[in-house]
Amino acid sequence: MTEIRSPRSGVLRMGNEALLAGLCVAFIGCGAPPPTNQPEAIAETTSALEPTVNLSGFAETLHETGAIDRTNPFFQALGTNPRTCETCHSSATGWGTNSISNTLQFLLSAGTGPLFNLVDSGTRPDADISTFPARVATFGDVVLKRGLTRFSRAINPAAEFSLIAVSDPYGFSTTTTFSGFRRPTPTANERKTSTILSTSAPAAGSDVPAQLKTILPGGVRLHEQGAVPATQAQADAAGEFMVGVYFAQTVDFKAGRLDSDGANGGPAALMAQPFYLGINGSPTDPVTGLPPNPNVFNIYDGWSKYAGLGNDGSPQSARGAIYRGQVVFNTAGHCSGCHNSPNVGGHSTPVFFNTGTADPENCGADLPVLTLQNKSSGETKLTCDPGRALSTGLWADIGKFRASPLRGLASRAPYFHDGQAATINDVIQHYQARFSLGLTTQQISDLATFLNAL
Ligand code: HEC
Ligand code: HEC
């Protein structure tokens, strides 16, 4: 019997059976109706805290209004298919998706659940889904392994470059219209970010809370195959809901509660975390006037007292590992320059970076590879995703993405814009190679433990 004490939702008691059932619900989430035998069956409005389980421990959603209003348009099927926003942005999977949940949904529905809709899922819009093996081929690599949504893209004719060739493993893309694949980014912790989506920046005079009120109608049309346009009132309501959602890890299986014993993990501390545009930015923070502080994360400072413990299996030694991982992030990993937003990890202004994640050798065989040509120099570049250049049309922006906010990571593997990194360790190995970091095996292990505790 595992007992988990949660300050507001009370005590969750889980025997092995309940834990397994809980695992399924947690990983499936995504708009599936809650089983009726659940002790905390989801009513129209649930308490502000909604717990979920992942491979590292438990994470929780906390809504700033004090309740999660499931009557919000975000949770309603507003189109002609059974999907809601929750199909790809579920509290159970950190307000995004994860590959375990996608796979369970696939197995439980034999590949016919709401997510598995050719409109934006799978290899190509006209793929064969007539048999189970055909559905495995259509959704296996793209949706189950990499967790991707498919978008129909074209290069803006005004861009500095043109698309001169596409090598699409699924034989669908042309130089006029090509398939672009992206991971759903989490609709959580939005008050603490400067941008939403992997490559967009708020328009001049706008900001993230305002931008969030513009998103629902497009989502309904595209993902829910809406026949009737969503109203501005619905869009506003969804925006207000999304901006109030906080999500973070609260319990680590080895270290215990992440907000105990002097540590400040979990969504409540995150909600209280100061954020403004440019915080901890360069050359100086616009409010404090100070240069950037590389110690971007300090929530686990209280566990420095355990840093010297080995790995003896005690909660204290696990806390020491999380603290040491925080130090690696802030120092030897050089992660803070891009992930500079204190205790959140995004970048505090809308700036985009190329870390090689759209280079064909990293994005791999599952995605179309584009050949882009600079219209003035004639130079060519191979990429799986033009990144920020899709919006700006600038040659220099090819392959650039926002530095992702990092809270709640354990609930949303795989990582990067296209799910190329299956695990946190794969993320670290990417940086180790890209920046020749020279991290030791111990540092890598500590850093992974820390990232899984965010
Ligand atoms: C089929 C999956 C799918 C469904 C359903 C879906 N989305 Fe998304 N969503 C995505 C993907 C993929 C992205 C990231 C796209 C990118 O980075 O370019 C995203 C990103 C977002 C973001 C940006 C979050 C951030 O902070 O980065 C918001 C907001 C959002 N979606 C809102 C919605 C709303 C509202 C609905 C319901 C109308 C919805 N989504 C339904 C796949 C989906
Ligand atoms: C040069 C800037 C830069 C540096 C340095 C950097 N990152 Fe990133 N990080 C990014 C960008 C850009 C992305 C998004 C890439 C993508 O989606 O393809 C990202 C994404 C991530 C993600 C994936 C998040 C998700 O939700 O998929 C993790 C985890 C991460 N970084 C951790 C780290 C760690 C740990 C370090 C230090 C070892 C680090 N980063 C150093 C820019 C940087």
Helices and strands counted in the chain (H then E): 12, 13
Q: How far is the CA of 398 from the centre of ligand 2 (A)?
A: 17
- Is the confidence at residue 8, as pLDDT, over 90? no
Find, among 295, 303, 297, the residue nearest to 263 by Cα: 303
To test the ligand 1 pocket, which listed residue (187, 191, 192) has its Cβ within 8 A of the most ligand atoms? Answer: 187
Whether ligand 2 lies within 6 angstroms of the CB of 449 is answered as no
Q: Counting atoms of ligand 1 from 1, which one is nearest the CA of 238? A: 35
Tell me which residue has tokens 């009120």. Answer: 213
Contact 229, 217 (CB under 8 A): yes
- Is the confidence at residue 110, as pLDDT, over 50? yes
Alpha-carbon distance of 172 to 166, in angstroms, equals 9
**Could you report the per-residue pLDDT of 314-372, keeping only the tens digit for each?**
999 999 999 999 999 999 999 999 999 999 999 999 999 999 999 999 997 899 999 99
Burial label for 183, CB within 10 Å (0-12, 13-18, 19+), is buried
Residue type at 391? Answer: S
Whether ligand 2 lies within 6 angstroms of the CB of 372 is answered as no
What's the pLDDT score for residue 50? Answer: 85
Which residue has its alpha carbon closest to ligand 2 atom 37? 335
Whether ligand 2 lies within 6 angstroms of the CB of 403 is answered as yes
CA atoms within 13 A on the CB side of 322: 32
Burial label for 180, CB within 10 Å (0-12, 13-18, 19+), is buried
For range 124-138, the mean pLDDT: 98
Q: What is the mean pLDDT of the chain?
A: 91
Global confidence as pTM? 0.92
Domain ranges of the chain: 2-149+182-245, 150-181+352-402
Which residue has its alpha carbon closest to ligand 2 atom 38? 333
Q: Is 449 helix (H, G, I), strand (E, B) or coil?
A: helix
Lowest mean pLDDT among 47-51, 248-252, 302-306: 47-51
**Could you report the per-residue pLDDT of 266-301, keeping only the tens digit for each?**
999 999 999 999 999 999 999 999 999 999 999 999
To test the ligand 2 pocket, which listed residue (427, 443, 444) has its Cβ within 8 A of the most ligand atoms? Answer: 427
Q: Which ligand is nearest to the CA of 217?
A: 1
- Is the confidence at residue 28, as pLDDT, over 70? no
What's the pLDDT score for residue 45? Answer: 59
Burial label for 389, CB within 10 Å (0-12, 13-18, 19+), is buried
Alpha-carbon distance of 61 to 5, in angstroms, equals 15
* CA distance to 86, 113, 149, 229, 392, per residue, from 73 (Å): 10, 21, 21, 13, 31
Q: How far is the CA of 223 from the centre of ligand 1 (A)?
A: 9
For range 299-319, the mean pLDDT: 96
Alpha-carbon distance of 447 to 144, in angstroms, equals 26
What's the pLDDT score for residue 377? Answer: 98
To test the ligand 2 pocket, which listed residue (98, 99, 146, 353) has its Cβ within 8 A of the most ligand atoms? Answer: 353
Q: Where are the alpha helices (DSSP H) in 291-352?
A: 315-330
Whether ligand 2 lies within 6 angstroms of the CB of 339 is answered as yes
Contact 323, 307 (CB under 8 A): yes
Q: How far is the CA of 51 from the centre of ligand 1 (A)?
A: 21
Q: How far is the CA of 275 from the centre of ligand 1 (A)?
A: 23
Alpha-carbon distance of 447 to 297, in angstroms, equals 12
Which residue has its alpha carbon closest to ligand 2 atom 12? 403
Q: How far is the CA of 304 from the centre of ligand 2 (A)?
A: 25
What's the pLDDT score for residue 448? Answer: 98
The end-to-end CA distance of the chain, in Å, is 26
Q: Where is mean pLDDT largest: 7-21, 22-36, 56-70? A: 56-70
What's the pLDDT score for residue 46? Answer: 61
Q: Counting atoms of ligand 1 from 1, which one is nearest the CA of 149? A: 12
Which residue has its alpha carbon closest to ligand 2 atom 36? 335
Q: What percent of the chain has pLDDT over 90?
A: 87
Burial label for 31, CB within 10 Å (0-12, 13-18, 19+), is buried
DSSP-assigned letter for residue 186:
P
